């Protein structure tokens, strides 16, 4: 019997059709988020793994809908998706494998219903994201989209009862992680016509989005990258308290995710203005060492 089969048993997924649905989501996460997938397989207890795979797949699918195609197409696609998810949460039925796994995960973890509903209600912030004039606009985006999306997974690992401190620590972590992503994904975001570094921050270093789009960065962009990575790293270091607030079943995974983001921060800082040519990844050997230590 495979480890995945045992995980489905432990998670209370007995029906063959539903087990197949969960396996589809596992394969999707393995293709799209390799490091996160490996970390979850190694570090999560079996009873949580299928549910985390489902929640991660929902987050990934939502990103695809919100980011792909012309605005009107994305608006229509998101409205359709949101309606189908809400209908399924109400009726318990769906013809979509991903939604069926989500419904089952919500039934197994009832607190997730509110988390999913919050995410559905606020995700339009990503649909209309076209960059941030100021740091305050970035913070608003975090509260409206990044944090609710992250809680799809983090909510499955949350403590019972009063989880206020846990949620604050999650918000701190996702601020650091999202800021880091926006710096690291600068080349890709420029191709899509939107930049996650606030315009006001670029202006502090005498840069503009037009400069970056034209490939002009140089030393000024080195300084912007250092500025943003320092801010991200500060949040990630503060988020080292998150594992202590996480119940034991999810603690090893959370600790590894924080450490891997800190490794990524070092790689992005070393890349500097080179992020205009592509993103940086943490050294594979160091990443594997983090996973091995936590395992």
What is the extent of the structural domain holding 255?
129-295
Of 106, 128, 150, the residue that ends a domain is 128
**How large is the average pLDDT for residues 98-117?**
96
- Assessment of whether the complete model's pTM goes beyond 0.85: yes
Q: Examine the fold and report which residue of 68, 103, 128 is the final residue of a domain before the chain moves on.
A: 128
Q: Are 6 and 89 in contact (CB under 8 A)?
A: no
Q: What residues contact 166, with CB distance under 8 A and at least 6 apart?
A: 158, 159, 242, 245, 246
Is the model's pLDDT at 149 over the cut of 80? Answer: yes
Q: Quick one: average pLDDT of 201-209?
A: 97
Confidence at residue 192, expressed as pLDDT on a 0 to 100 scale = 87
| Kind and range of the H or E run holding 106 | helix 97-108
| Final residue belonging to a domain, choices 109, 128, 147 | 128
Q: Cα(268)–Cα(208) distance, rounded to whole angstroms?
A: 20
Average pLDDT over residues 37-58: 96
pLDDT of residue 1: 59
Q: What is the mean predicted confidence (pLDDT) over 95-106? A: 97
By the 8 A CB rule, do 37 and 29 touch?
yes
Least confident of 62-71, 132-141, 182-191: 62-71
In the block, tokens 């600068």 appear at 186
d(CA 130, CA 108): 37
Give pLDDT tens digits for 160-200: 988 999 999 999 999 999 999 999 999 999 998 889 999 99
Q: Are residues 144 and 285 in the same domain?
A: yes
Q: Each residue of 36-54: b (16+ CB within 10 Å) or e?
A: bbebbbebbebbbbbbbbb
């Amino acid at each position: 019997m495979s480890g995945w089969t045992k995980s489905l048993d432990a998670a209370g997924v007995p029906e063959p059709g539903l087990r197949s649905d969960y396996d589809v989501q596992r394969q999707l996460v393995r293709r799209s988020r390799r490091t996160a997938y490996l970390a979850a397989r190694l570090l999560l207890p079996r009873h949580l793994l299928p549910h985390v795979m489902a929640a991660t797949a929902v987050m990934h699918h939502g990103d695809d809908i919100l980011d792909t195609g012309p605005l009107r197409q994305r608006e229509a696609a998101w409205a359709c998706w949101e309606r189908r998810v809400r209908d399924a949460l109400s009726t318990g039925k769906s013809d979509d494998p991903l939604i069926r796994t989500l419904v089952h995960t919500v039934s197994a973890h009832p607190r997730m219903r509110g988390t999913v509903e919050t995410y559905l209600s606020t995700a339009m912030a990503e649909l209309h994201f076209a960059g941030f004039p100021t740091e305050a606009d970035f913070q608003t985006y975090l509260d409206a989209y990044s944090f609710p999306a992250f809680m799809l997974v983090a909510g499955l690992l949350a403590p019972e009862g009063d989880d206020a401190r846990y949620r604050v620590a999650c918000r701190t972590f996702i601020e650091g992680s999202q800021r880091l992503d926006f710096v690291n994904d600068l080349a890709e975001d420029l191709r899509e016509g939107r930049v996650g570094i606030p315009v006001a921050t670029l202006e502090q270093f005498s840069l503009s989005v037009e400069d970056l789009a034209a490939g002009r960065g140089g030393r000024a962009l080195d300084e912007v990258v250092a500025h943003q990575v320092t801010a991200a790293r500060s949040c990630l270091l503060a988020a080292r308290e998150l594992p202590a607030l996480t119940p034991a079943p999810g603690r090893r995974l959370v600790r590894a995710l924080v450490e891997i983001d800190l490794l990524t921060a070092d790689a992005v800082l070393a890349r500097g203005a080179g992020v205009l040519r592509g993103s940086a990844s943490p050294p594979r050997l160091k990443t594997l060492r983090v996973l091995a230590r936590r395992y």
